[in-house]
A and B are shown apart, each in its own frame.
Chain A
Amino acid sequence: MEYILIFISAIFVNNIVLSQFLGICPFLGVSKKVETAKGMGLAVTFVLVIATIVTYLLQIWVLNPFNLQYLQTIVFILVIAGLVQMVEIVLKKLSPSLYQALGVFLPLITTNCCILGVAILVANGTYNGQGLEPSLLTGVIFALATALGFALSLIVFAGLREQLSLIRVPKGMDGMPIALVTAGLLALAFMGFSGIDKGIALFFN
């Protein structure tokens, strides 16, 4: 039950982009077409889950036992950068079709702050686990749910922008300003979900 709540909370209530403001760069940058948005969403989901597992284990087995917590930021960003490269190489060998689909997006992911952000949240255990103890399993589920939330908002936003490109916009608002206002309205719509996780928790208890 708690696992389902983590999903609902991370995808709708505390959406990583629209309420936590992580991963805005790809959200604004690669949301012109639904097709590319799908590719980016898939790539982020893939890397985010792997990066969370690796950084969590690193925190538990290396940083905590040796009292090196202050090196967290440096170690995590290097691990993520290396990991993205490795994923790229492995995918190229094992699954060329998936590599074709994700290829262009993978290098962009290193500077996507939602990867480092979620890795730090999970490693510190400061995410919303819906009452479950922070562990590898809840961390991975949280990461997967967050990534799906990212993909959902990215694809919905890309759909909106595709429609938006068909209409005439006042000159000063053209391009990024109108995209930001659209994102604001989307965030307003997602605010409507606030509280449903607690409602569902009450309903089942």
Chain B
Amino acid sequence: MNNWKVFFNGLVKENPTFVLLLGMCPTLGTTSSALNGMSMGLATTFVLICSNIVIALLKNLIPDKVRIPAYIVVIASFVTLLQMLMQAYLPSLYASLGLFIPLIVVNCIILGRAEAFAAKNTAIPSLFDGLGMGLGFTWALTLLGAVRELLGTGAVFGLTILPSSTNMLAFVLAPGAFIVLGYLIAIVNKIKK
């Protein structure tokens, strides 16, 4: 069915991080380790799927002129829900992701998909679009986090691979985020051609 095409579109062809270059703040800010990157990706996926479905269902009720504020309210409600759930069940993860959880509201991927996809399609394809885009974002963040963690601390998901003599701390800190992402995008560009 068409739904799978929509799903893989977000996963590979229109990958939000490597191709569309959306949502750069959490991409760079939360990928100091593979686990943090993956958690942030999954958190965004949750909000993306929920907001896509709700907006697809409500699209005929929302007047065209106030649609952007209405979308923002829907997205912000789910982010608040996520904040409460994470505070209750995953407090340590919530603390390590910190400010970036409430900032999912201003992640351009979510508003972008609401406007570009959910506002024009029904609930089921919107669900697949949210899932594809969300998981595309998740694997990109996990990869970025894994590379940074490997170069910076010699481990992936806390599993030590390289000896500590090869650790380059700068890759866990801010400069490494920019440089690794730059090279990953360059590699993706190369593969696409």
Contact = CB atoms under 8 A, between A and B. Distances in A.
B179 A184 contact: yes
Contact of B83 (A22, A24, A73, A78): A73
A181 B178 CA distance: 6
A184 B176 contact: yes
A120 interface: yes
B156 interface: no
A78 B103 contact: no
Interface stretch (A42-50, A87-95, A111-119, A142-150): A111-119
Interface size class of A (residues with CB under 8 A): 35 or more
Given A77-B72, A172-B186, A188-B170, A21 B29 contact: yes
A71 B183 CA distance: 39
A11 B185 CA distance: 29
A113 B175 contact: no
Interface size class of B (residues with CB under 8 A): 35 or more
Interface string B4-40: 0000000000000000010011011100000000000
Given A20-B29, A77-B76, A112-B106, A180 B174 contact: no
Contacts of B173: 19, 191
Contact of B25 (A25, A78, A191): A25
A13 to B, nearest CB: 12
A113 B76 CA distance: 14
B102 A72 contact: yes
Given A24-B24, A78-B69, A81-B72, A184 B175 contact: yes
Interface in B143-193: 170, 173-179, 181-183, 185-187, 189-190, 193
Given A73-B76, A117-B99, A188-B170, 9 more contacts: A21-B28, A23-B25, A24-B27, A78-B73, A111-B111, A176-B182, A177-B189, A185-B179, A191-B170
Interface of A: 18-25, 28, 70-74, 77-78, 81, 110-113, 116-117, 120-121, 172-173, 176-181, 183-185, 187-188, 190-191
13 contacts: A19-B173, A19-B174, A22-B103, A24-B25, A25-B108, A73-B83, A77-B106, A111-B106, A113-B103, A172-B190, A176-B185, A177-B185, A181-B179
